[in-house]
Structure 1
Amino acid sequence: MRITRNRPGTQSGPAGQFNGSVWIDEIAAPEPPSRLRLFSVHFAPGGHTGWHTHPHGQVLHVTEGEGLVQHRGGPVEAIRAGDTVWIEPDEWHWHGAAPRTFMTHLALVEAAEDGSTIHWHTDPGVPEYPAA
């Protein structure tokens, strides 16, 4: 057993991958052979990801606030504190805060063999984010 008392500092969500104000805290990235990664992501009102996929899927658990999530071709869905979302492997999706509220979620992913956990996509005109 090992207790980690220090972790990397909070990072700003990179422009081009995130819209609006988004902050990311890496909570856990165990050494191999584990490939799990755990992040806490904090979205200011209206902040959200761009379209992306995960090689092994993703689990989101909303810890506070209200947000929105959408998979490609599906409706925009409201999510709230206490909700858990399972995103299938390689499923195009985005997620973020509702237009007028903050939202924080835990994001759990498994890295692929090459170490990647996420693939960002561009598609003009989307995500179909509701107006504030």
Structure 2
Amino acid sequence: MTVFFVCAGLLGLLAVGLTMHVGRLRGRKKIFLGDGGDPEMLSAIRAHANLVELTPLCLFIIWLLHGPYGNATIAVLAAILTMARFLHAGGMLGFYKFGRAAGATATTAILAVAAILLILAGLDIRLY
């Protein structure tokens, strides 16, 4: 469970960092609503929004898997999700050329795997 909590905390800090980045850009560029047609502002907003759109659902589904699958499964899923979200944010902000695609793909895969495992657990089917 410790890994899950650490990963959830790191993702929370990523949200804080992305929020602050958007705020700094808004002040520097004097864009106080929307993206003002500025590509850098749009990327910052979307990096933050994408994290907020997907991460809570992923974490919640992963958390629900604790009962049927235990600590090891949720630790692995949470760790991969955390790496994926940092990659995605880094890619959106221009730090990693491949980060956006790799992060988005990994996040979607984690969401799909966790959702399927949860459905199977609901049907009392365990894969391991």
TM over 0.5: no
Q: Structure 1-normalised TM-score?
A: 0.27
Q: Structure 2-normalised TM-score?
A: 0.28
